[in-house]
Amino acid sequence: GPTLILALTRENAVAHWRDLLGPKTVEEAMKENPNSLRAQYAVSNVPIGQLHGSSTPDDAQKELEFFFPEEHTFALIKPAAAAKYKDVILQKVKDAGFTISKFKEESLTREMAAQFYHDHEGKPFFEDLLSCMTEGPSVIMVLTKENAVEEWRNLMGPVDPEVAKETSPESIRAHFAEDILSNAVHGSSTKEHAQKSIECVFGELDLD
Ligand code: ATP
Ligand code: MG
């Protein structure tokens, strides 16, 4: 049947959780530490403890990566928002549980902006978009988290701030976008796009 899997965090978490669990088998746990979790929450007739904990920090790392694989996405605070709201947007990023794995502040060249937005080449707003993206320094980041691509897009909100205010009032675009063009932030739409944009800005990366 289903198992509940948790990532637990505190100082010295591996040893502390193992202390709480108590001895390996239910029999030992009952005898040696009746207050331990394995003794208290034993299931009758099942001699095997119902709870697991990683043996070492290295094992914990491996098990966490297996059950909660991390993903990287490419994220950018556009120049107008970077000038006005950089700190508050960065705080929102951290509050949402992203790790900022790479960070730089730099003005994009038109070539870079065209690369990030090559899907939109030929659209009527394309030239305006390149101008808006190159008018000053952007904050450029690699954000890391489980399911990072999708979660960053959720945090950004819909492309049009008027829609964002209606449907995602807590999103970054609802709070900080001026209009659909100068809409505060950019984020890759797929893992593959993210990889390309990350390489374009930060070079080959061994983030995994
Ligand atoms: P982004 O790619 O910037 O993360 P997105 O994926 O939500 O945003 P896209 O449809 O890929 O939205 O549009 C890319 C960018 O082009 C948007 O961020 C926005 O600034 C601009 N844009 C999109 N549609 C329009 C439009 N109709 N008029 C003006 N600008 C637009
Ligand atoms: Mg897009």
180 alpha carbon – ligand 1 mean position (Å): 7
**Average pLDDT of the chain, as a whole number:** 94
Choose among 149, 157, 147: nearest CA to 190: 149
126 alpha carbon – ligand 1 mean position (Å): 9
Residue 38, domain extent: 13-67
| Residue 118 is among the residues annotated as catalytic for this protein | no
d(CA 176, CA 164): 10
Atom 2, ligand 1: which residue's CA is nearest? 186
Q: Which of 72, 175, 186, 193 is catalytic?
A: 186
Tokens of 71: 């993903």
Residue 208 has pLDDT above 80, yes or no: no
Say what the pTM is.
Answer: 0.78
Atom 6, ligand 1: which residue's CA is nearest? 189
DSSP readout, 51-108? ----SSHHHHHHHHHHHS-EEEEEEEE-HHHHHHHHHHHHHHHHHTT-EEEEEEEEEP
The CATH number of the domain holding residue 141 is 3.30.70.141
Asked if 139 and 165 sit in the same domain, the reply is yes
d(CA 101, CA 66): 20
**Banded pLDDT at 207 (limits 50, 70, 90):** low
pLDDT at position 43 is: 87
39 alpha carbon – ligand 2 mean position (Å): 53
d(CA 141, CA 104): 7
d(CA 146, CA 37): 29
Residue 206 has pLDDT above 70, yes or no: no
Q: Would 5 be classed as within a structural domain?
A: no
Q: How many structural domains comprise the chain? A: 2
Residue 66 has pLDDT above 90, yes or no: yes
- Count H helices and E strands in the chain, helices first: 11, 4
Mutate-to-test residue for ligand 1 from 119, 150, 159, highest number of ligand atoms within 8 A of CB = 159
Q: Would 3 be classed as within a structural domain?
A: no
Q: Would 79 be classed as within a structural domain?
A: yes
Instruction: Find the residues whose C-beta lies inside 6 A of ligand 1.
Output: 117, 120, 125, 129, 159, 180-181, 183, 186-187, 189
